[in-house]
Chains A and B, each alone.
Chain A
């Protein structure tokens, strides 16, 4: 147990595997004991549900359980059903459209906010703006969506504003044409401040002498931003972008469930809300079919994560793994 023995494993190459395990256990016994509760948690609540994915290939009956439910023939029957589902095109289309729109408008927004905050020299004002813009992140989804619904009523705030500018009152969330705009603007409202933290942290680590030098060379503020600040942010932006792409099909289903209604399913229904309704929306729960769709969703996400990571590691130095 003494520290003197705790050299790198490489020094013990002459030991065989069994001896190395014994030595490792003597040295790190307590660490392995500490990780046991974590591994038990992961096994019970992360890996056991992963095993539960087999019902995507079975005809799961609650009375029979996972083990004794019959296998599907062919094994991909549920996936085939999904690909030929009348809603398949609509679900994929909506999920990708909302996700891509959220990335296009939502991803740059906090970067822009961080850059603009960085240009404010009055520290107290800057800090106040930060505190205020973090606030929506701490307001629950239930409350946020309830407020959106209140503002979007026929006689609500949004109608009041539109009428003021000469428009007409309407029940905004009943009209398919508005849903995505409302979803994305509220998404930016919720996350812009919070997501800017990581960029502000990255900004504070940029070498200040570079700005000094650029100023002496006569660079104006816009040029400094373009040639020093943005390149300094690039690694952070890349990593966050890869992580974001790994969630391309994870459109916020909690938010969608709280906002949508059957009148606007054509633009708002996404893969995860469809699986939710199949299993919990009343009627006979279709657990196996839902699971198959969910598995498809996860696999697409993983493919996008790996692809973005691969491209990024080729064109830049930043990658996840």
Chain B
């Protein structure tokens, strides 16, 4: 199940034609260009984060290496109260959300994958319908207010407690578990809760890993709901703090309790060091799960 299509054995007797060789060369050049275009922005950010602030203000264009190496903006990024509370908030959200996400997804996947359930069509419909129809931005916002979640981190956790798309991925994985395994567990007197956690869960660990990555990255990178549902700056997760620094260009960092001289000194460079600090953790994790990504796509899994 690797993401790479199987190597097509090239019969030695058939020689590659000139056209075929030219195509190969062009193809490889294209791929290298694509990689360059993809990687350069991150290289730019890395270099800029170590560059002197004055240089960044004067030359915002192409950067190929750091100018006047300094790591001062990282010192600021690690000590500024708003950034620190941003990291703290998103970590709280992740720690509370991920177990809820995985348990709900697992339950939903398990029940929609099981057979002989009299009310399964109704359950299936109730689950799938939400994929194609939703209340939208304003009703969701008013709902959060009505439930008393406004300006609380729960507003970032509960409304996205489960993604139906991910539960379908989970269902597909569970359908791949041989029925004989669960049946023998029933014969030994196990109930479904034991079956889910002791038999199904260990067997679909690669899928769970991908789902953890999806949910985790989703929470880590989310900003829109927090911008609607939270009022206090101290409650904002890191992406919203970054949005204030990077896009609103506001002086949000010049708030009480921070060293304003230092903030002004690194006003440009701090943008890039925070990007590095929030993006690199994610970029370090995903390559290790890459071989499982195929399990996380809905191949032939859409039809229920």
Query: Chain A interface (Cβ within 8 Å of chain B)?
Result: 1-3, 6-9, 20-21, 24, 27-28, 30-35, 37-39, 41-42, 44-53, 55, 60, 65-66, 113, 116-121, 123, 125-136, 138-143, 145-147, 149-151, 153, 155-157, 159-161, 189, 192-193, 197-198, 200-206, 208, 211, 215, 220-221, 235-236, 239, 243, 246, 254, 257-258, 272, 275-276, 279-280, 287, 290-291, 294-295, 297-298, 301-302, 305, 320-321
Chain A CB count within 10 A is highest, among B137, B161, B299, B302, for: B137
Contact partners of B297 in chain A: CB under 8 A? 197-198, 201
CB–CB A118/B5 < 8 A: yes
What's the minimum C-beta distance from A282 to chain B, rounded to whole angstroms?
A: 14
What's the minimum C-beta distance from B228 to chain A, rounded to whole angstroms?
A: 7
With A66-B146, A135-B42, A156-B61 already in contact, 16 other A-B pairs whose C-beta atoms are closer than 8 Å: A30-B193, A31-B111, A34-B110, A45-B140, A45-B158, A51-B139, A65-B146, A117-B4, A129-B34, A129-B35, A139-B42, A143-B242, A206-B5, A220-B17, A236-B299, A321-B303
Contact partners of B158 in chain A: CB under 8 A? 41, 44-45
What's the minimum C-beta distance from B122 to chain A, rounded to whole angstroms?
A: 10
CB–CB B287/A131 < 8 A: yes
Contact partners of A35 in chain B: CB under 8 A? 107-108, 111, 123
What's the minimum C-beta distance from B91 to chain A, rounded to whole angstroms?
A: 16
Within the assembled complex, what's the spacing in Å between the Cα atoms of A164 and B82? 40
Contact partners of B242 in chain A: CB under 8 A? 140, 142-143, 146
Query: Chain B interface (Cβ within 8 Å of chain A)?
Result: 2-11, 14, 17, 19-20, 23-24, 27-28, 30-31, 34-35, 37-39, 41-42, 44-45, 59-62, 103-104, 107-108, 110-111, 114, 116-119, 123, 126-127, 130, 132-143, 146-147, 158-159, 161-162, 167, 183, 186-187, 191-193, 196, 217, 220-221, 223-224, 228, 239, 242-243, 246-247, 271, 275, 278-279, 282-283, 286-287, 290, 293-294, 297-300, 302-304
Given contacts A42-B126, A146-B247, A157-B62, contact A49 B143 (CB under 8 A): yes
Within the assembled complex, what's the spacing in Å between the Cα atoms of A66 and B146? 10
Contact partners of A321 in chain B: CB under 8 A? 303-304
Within the assembled complex, what's the spacing in Å between the Cα atoms of A202 and B161? 30
Chain A CB count within 10 A is highest, among B30, B41, B135, B186, for: B135
CB–CB B130/A46 < 8 A: yes
CB–CB A197/B7 < 8 A: no
CB–CB A121/B8 < 8 A: yes
What's the minimum C-beta distance from A289 to chain B, rounded to whole angstroms?
A: 9
Within the assembled complex, what's the spacing in Å between the Cα atoms of A216 and B130? 50
Within the assembled complex, what's the spacing in Å between the Cα atoms of A254 and B64? 30
Within the assembled complex, what's the spacing in Å between the Cα atoms of A125 and B118? 51
Contact partners of B298 in chain A: CB under 8 A? 198
CB–CB B132/A305 < 8 A: yes
CB–CB B228/A201 < 8 A: no
Contact partners of B193 in chain A: CB under 8 A? 30, 33-34
What's the minimum C-beta distance from A236 to chain B, rounded to whole angstroms?
A: 7
CB–CB B6/A287 < 8 A: no
B104 (CB) vs chain A CBs: closest residue? A38
Contact partners of B104 in chain A: CB under 8 A? 37-38, 41
Contact partners of B110 in chain A: CB under 8 A? 31, 34
What's the minimum C-beta distance from B232 to chain A, rounded to whole angstroms?
A: 16
Within the assembled complex, what's the spacing in Å between the Cα atoms of A187 and B221? 17
Contact partners of A287 in chain B: CB under 8 A? 138, 142
Within the assembled complex, what's the spacing in Å between the Cα atoms of A156 and B286? 30
Given contacts A9-B118, A275-B137, contact A142 B61 (CB under 8 A): no
Ordered nearest first, which 7 A-B pairs have the shortest CB separation? A49-B135, A52-B139, A140-B221, A30-B192, A294-B136, A146-B246, A49-B139
What's the minimum C-beta distance from A15 to chain B, rounded to whole angstroms?
A: 11
Given contacts A34-B193, A38-B107, A208-B6, contact A215 B11 (CB under 8 A): yes
CB–CB B302/A239 < 8 A: yes
Given contacts A27-B116, A119-B23, A298-B134, contact A53 B247 (CB under 8 A): no
Within the assembled complex, what's the spacing in Å between the Cα atoms of A279 and B45? 35
What's the minimum C-beta distance from B189 to chain A, rounded to whole angstroms?
A: 8
CB–CB B34/A121 < 8 A: no
Within the assembled complex, what's the spacing in Å between the Cα atoms of A128 and B220? 25
CB–CB A290/B138 < 8 A: yes
What's the minimum C-beta distance from A119 to chain B, rounded to whole angstroms?
A: 6
A297 (CB) vs chain B CBs: closest residue? B136
What's the minimum C-beta distance from A242 to chain B, rounded to whole angstroms?
A: 9
Chain B CB count within 10 A is highest, among A21, A30, A38, A130, for: A38
What's the minimum C-beta distance from B295 to chain A, rounded to whole angstroms?
A: 9
What's the minimum C-beta distance from A251 to chain B, rounded to whole angstroms?
A: 14
Given contacts A41-B162, A254-B224, contact A204 B6 (CB under 8 A): yes
Contact partners of B243 in chain A: CB under 8 A? 142, 146, 258
Contact partners of A305 in chain B: CB under 8 A? 132
Contact partners of A130 in chain B: CB under 8 A? 3-4, 290
B147 (CB) vs chain A CBs: closest residue? A44
Within the assembled complex, what's the spacing in Å between the Cα atoms of A258 and B240? 11
Contact partners of A202 in chain B: CB under 8 A? 299
